[in-house]
Amino acid sequence: MTTHTTHAHPAKRHWAEGLTAFAAVMLMIAGVLDLLRGIMAIAQDDVFVTTRNYVFAFDLTGWGWVHLVLGAVAVIVSLGLFQTAMWARVAGVVIAGFIIIANFLSLPYSPVWSIVMIAFSGFVIWALCVAREEGSSGPFPRSP
């Protein structure tokens, strides 16, 4: 019986490590893409479709700044996930949630891209919430 539980624990740990690494990479990608989207909207807002009578209508330059800041924070948090910081796990869920909200609110300006970013961020939240490692302060093993 102890052999079974001994083998289950390393498998569970590897699963948690893999999911956290996945979340870190996905959050990095989402952050960089949001940074680029923000830069595009700030520099040349005629790249996006303008929509009349939208309830959450902001100037596209305003949306650009929102996405630029969210992207920068997402990149920083993803670097924390690679460093096994517990604050990064919590912040990763929060920033991915904010990215989902911002992309939902900017759906009329770039619908397909917003849906892609919502999916990326959903995977990040899922991976960070599912991966649990018992008795460890981080998702990756410490080197001896």
pLDDT tens digit string along 18-54? 788 888 999 999 999 999 988 988 887 665 656 666 6
Sorted by where each begins, the domain ranges of the chain are: 31-130
The predicted pLDDT at position 125 comes to: 93
Those residues of the chain that have pLDDT short of 50 are 1-7, 135-136, 138-144
Contact in structure between 45 and 26 (CB atoms under 8 Å): no
Q: Which residues contact 77 (CB under 8 A, 6 or more apart)?
A: 27, 31, 88, 91, 92, 95
